[in-house]
Amino acid sequence: MNRFLFLKGRVFIIPVFVLFLTGGACFAKELITSARETEFLISAKASFEYYCSPCHGKNGDGRGTFYTIDLNPKPRNFTDAAYMATRPESDLIKSITNGTVSIGKSNLCPPWGNVFTENRIKELAGFIKGLSVEKTIKIAAAEKESVVEGGKTADLKTAFRWLFIAVITVALAGGAISEWKKLKSESV
């Protein structure tokens, strides 16, 4: 009878163990899309920062964390407007989906077609194309700001010049008046 109680305890433990294992599988499936990963899949920018920025940098300038490693070739600078204007968006989509080797470039950038949906890949391509436009806009804004500051500097220089001319004019006029008074007093 004592032995029967021992087996009864084991029989109870086995279903609990099986339930624990199946529950663990459910949790493992949920871990694949954890809250952190879901956060990075919300937008193309967040996906770029999570998956692409280690090589390409957060700003897309090609100076990510792995830039210091002797990568040959170096990661692409997506902010180079001249280069990005020559690359069609279809090449970006193909290189993201199948890796850059699919468009005759380096084999260092892996294919992401199994990670992202087709729609997300198109969004990423658009985001990457926008990085060069964004840099161009920032450069134009900086140039405009420097022109405005240069204009302020020029206005200040002009004001000092006029002030100098006014001071010289007053000094010369004062000297001329004093000389005129001397001449007048001598003639009387």
Residue spans of the chain under pLDDT 70: 1-41, 68, 134-141, 144, 146-154, 188
In a domain, residue 58? The reply is yes
Domain that holds residue 19: 1-32
In a domain, residue 173? The reply is no
The string of pLDDT tens digits covering residues 134-180 is: 666 666 667 767 665 555 666 778 888 888 888 888 888 888 888 88
Residue 10, pLDDT score = 54
Residue 49, pLDDT score = 87
Domain count, the chain: 2
Residues 122 and 81 in one domain: yes
Residues 69 and 124 in one domain: yes
Residue 98, pLDDT score = 92
In a domain, residue 37? The reply is no
pTM of the model: 0.52
Residues 100 and 150 in one domain: yes
Residue 43, pLDDT score = 82
Residue 85, pLDDT score = 85
3-state secondary structure the chain: CHHHHHHHHHHHHHHHHHHHHHHHHHHHHHHHCCHHHHHHCCCHHHHHHHHHHHHHCCCCCCCCHHHHCCCCCCCCCCCCHHHHHHCCHHHHHHHHHHCHHHHCCCCCCCCCCCCCCHHHHHHHHHHHHHHHHHHHHHHHHHHHHHHHHHHHHHHHHHHHHHHHHHHHHHHHHHHHHHHHHHHHHHHC
Residues 86 and 139 in one domain: yes
